[in-house]
Amino acid sequence: MNPEILKRIPQREPFLYIEEIISKEEKTITTSQKITGEEDFFKGHFPGDPIMPGVLICEAAFQTGALLMSYIMEGGITGKTAVVSRIQSAKFKNMVRPGDELQMTVSLVDQIENAAYMKGKVTVNGKTALQIEFACTLVG
């Protein structure tokens, strides 16, 4: 586990879907996660034809957004939790299977006080798996 990620967001195994920070700019971050096939959700989704649930692909983007917020928000997000407060325009374009590596790129579109409005894209092997717009709000 990457200690920088663990320091900045509260999610932990088995519900942490970021393994590495690939790049970070002022308002954009790219992270990655290798999908091994050993994840528990593959036991039932779908046996014999394993596909990562779309909601968990979204979660990988949301966690990447929370990580971006931890860099952007003044004073970070220590003692607070970034929770998803809006999801819009989720488009699933390709499936994610065991052995794939997710690459999540999230950009800040707007920030109003403790809310960040973002857009995200998750790719696998250069192909888009998910495009999404969402908002996270700091609570706590």
What are the pLDDT digits (tens) for 85-127? 999 999 999 999 999 999 999 999 999 988 999 999 999 999 9
From the candidate CATH numbers 3.40.640.10, 3.10.129.10, 3.40.50.300, 3.40.50.1980, the one assigned to the domain spanning 3-139: 3.10.129.10
State yes or no: pLDDT of 140 exceeds 80.
yes
56 is catalytic: no
User: Which residue out of 24, 45, 80, 97 is catalytically annotated?
Assistant: 45
Say if CB 72 and CB 24 are below 8 A apart: no
Rounded to whole angstroms, how far apart are CA atoms 72 and 113? 12
State yes or no: pLDDT of 45 exceeds 90.
yes
Q: What share of the chain has pLDDT > 70, as a percent?
A: 96
Strand partners, 87: 134
Pairing of strands 20-24, 101-112: unpaired
Amino acid at site 108 = L
pLDDT of residue 1: 78
**Domain assignments of the chain as residue spans, ordered by start:** 3-139
Say if CB 122 and CB 68 are below 8 A apart: no
Rounded to whole angstroms, how far apart are CA atoms 128 and 103? 9
pTM comes to 0.95
